[in-house]
Amino acid sequence: MNKKNIIIVGAGPAGLMAADVLSLDHNVSVYDKEPKPGQKFLLAGKGGFNLTSDLEGEELYARYSPAGFMDKALSEFDPRLLRKWFAELGINTFVGSSGKVFPENHIKPIDVLNKITSKLINQGVLFHLKHKLVLFDDNSVVFEYNQQQVTIEADYIILALGGASWPQTGSDGLWCSIMESMGVETLPFQSSNCGININWPESIIKNHVGKPLKNIRLSADNTEAKGEAIITDYGLEGNAVYPLIPYIRKMIDANDNVFIDIDFKPSNSFEQLMVKTKGKIIKPKAYKDVFNLNPVQSALIKAYTNKETYLSVSAFIQSIKKLPVPIVSLRPVAEAISTIGGVPLNEINEDFSLKKHPRIYCIGEMLDWDAPTGGFLIQGCFAMGNFAARSIIQKENISEDIINK
């Protein structure tokens, strides 16, 4: 095969995976504006080093939106194959009780990143750091390096520039203006997998900020999620909140009055809680013991119910099962774990190449797709990098076959 010169801009999971696949047959150079590769990958690992999930097939595909967008990429590189790839790097993994996949032996994010970059360097990949993207066209990329502009020619260009969350890692979304100068539409970035802003009563802020709400069920827009949330000075944060963000965002965009409903006892039905009263008249001061409520739960119910509801046992139990709390807004893009927006999907072909520039590919969080936490975001990025790279190899194989004929 005639080796091609391929430039990958962005040294996150999507770009690194593309470099791994392509470097077996082509000359690959990875550029990044940060002084070290994988900065967001390293930061993400501080919250629990979750590499992927154990889901497969339709159950896996359903975690990504819009529906169908990621199906082919995931079918060609699913969690099973990603775990095999990690194992070949010397990083064995295990499935936790929640279905999340973690590395064994207390392996840290920097260990994983070093294994990946070492593999790529051994395969001939060249890393060029502190290179800020300035411009690109179908055949070259312009970078700023040491206060000078450097133009690099390429046969293919893969852009893995990230979204706009955690800008301190380099994902600042400033590349949108470059895209638009090339005639490629971009969408404003919006927060995903983030906290929600709530105007807590002063009593909640004073006494309960930093406290967890464990084993709860949250619901919004007829969608629910179980897990845990943390009360913060601005609202709620946590794994029970993140899956609901797309639905909350939709309601906010529609200018609806937005509420999140809290079920403090998801394992108990209304009827089961009523049984705890044993048919007796229960006074409010006994609620805590009768229904096994902790101080945080009791305080929230009292803050968001009126006197009539609080004094009625049946109405109080309804509040235990469904306490509506008004939402003001989502947390800012810079604080979000991930974002939607960026390059809309109608600008790209099925293989992630740009329709207007078919030798330029866009992968990872710079595209307008969404997935929850739990290993799905990083799995999606790795899968996209693999799929785009194999698409290029397939194109070159077809071209070579035509030439040989």
Would the pLDDT of 2 be above 90?
Answer: no
Half-sphere exposure of 22 (CA within 13 A, CB side): 33
Q: Residue 404: what pLDDT?
A: 58
Tokens of 306: 């009126």
The tens digit of pLDDT for each residue in 199-235 reads: 999 999 999 999 999 999 999 999 999 999 999 999 9
Residue 256 is predicted with a pLDDT of: 73
353: alpha, beta or left, given left = phi > 0 and alpha = psi -120 to 50? beta
pLDDT in tens, 321-378: 999 999 999 999 999 999 999 999 999 999 999 999 999 999 999 999 999 999 999 9
Measured torsion, CA atoms of residues 62, 66, 70, 72, in degrees rounded to the nearest 10? 90
Mean pLDDT of the chain: 94
pLDDT tens across 264-277, in order? 999 999 999 999 98
Helix, strand, coil distribution of the chain in percent, nearest 5: 40, 25, 35
Last residue in a domain, options 315, 330, 345: 330
pLDDT of residue 199: 97
Which pTM does this prediction carry? 0.93
Same domain, 306 and 176: no
Contacts of 296 (CB under 8 A, 6+ apart): 208, 211, 212, 213, 231
Token pair for 384 = 């996209």
Checking if the pLDDT of 175 tops 70, the result is yes
DSSP structure string for 109-146: HHHHHHHHHHHHHHTTPEEEES-EEEEE-SSEEEEEET
pLDDT of residue 397: 86
Same domain, 35 and 163: yes
Q: 263-288 burial by CB neighbour count: b if 16+ within 10 A, else e?
A: bbbeebeeeebeeebeeeebeeeebe
Say if residue 308 is in the same domain as residue 379: no
pLDDT > 90: percent of the chain: 89
CB count within 10 Å of CB 257 equals: 8
The CATH number of whichever domain residue 47 belongs to comes to: 3.50.50.60
Domain of 236, in residue numbers: 196-330
| pLDDT given for residue 214 in this prediction | 96
Query: Is residue 278 domain-shared with residue 172, that is, in the same domain?
Result: no
- Supply the pLDDT for residue 251: 94
Mean pLDDT of 19-40: 96
**Per-residue pLDDT reduced to its tens digit, 277-324:** 887 888 889 999 999 999 999 999 999 999 999 999 999 999 999 999
Count how many domains the chain has.
Answer: 2
The closest alpha carbon to 351, from 342, 343, 341, 361, belongs to 361
Same domain for 228 and 134: no
Of 299, 330, 361, the residue that ends a domain is 330
| Contacting residues for 74 by C-beta, under 8 A, at least 6 apart | 60, 61, 64, 379, 380, 383
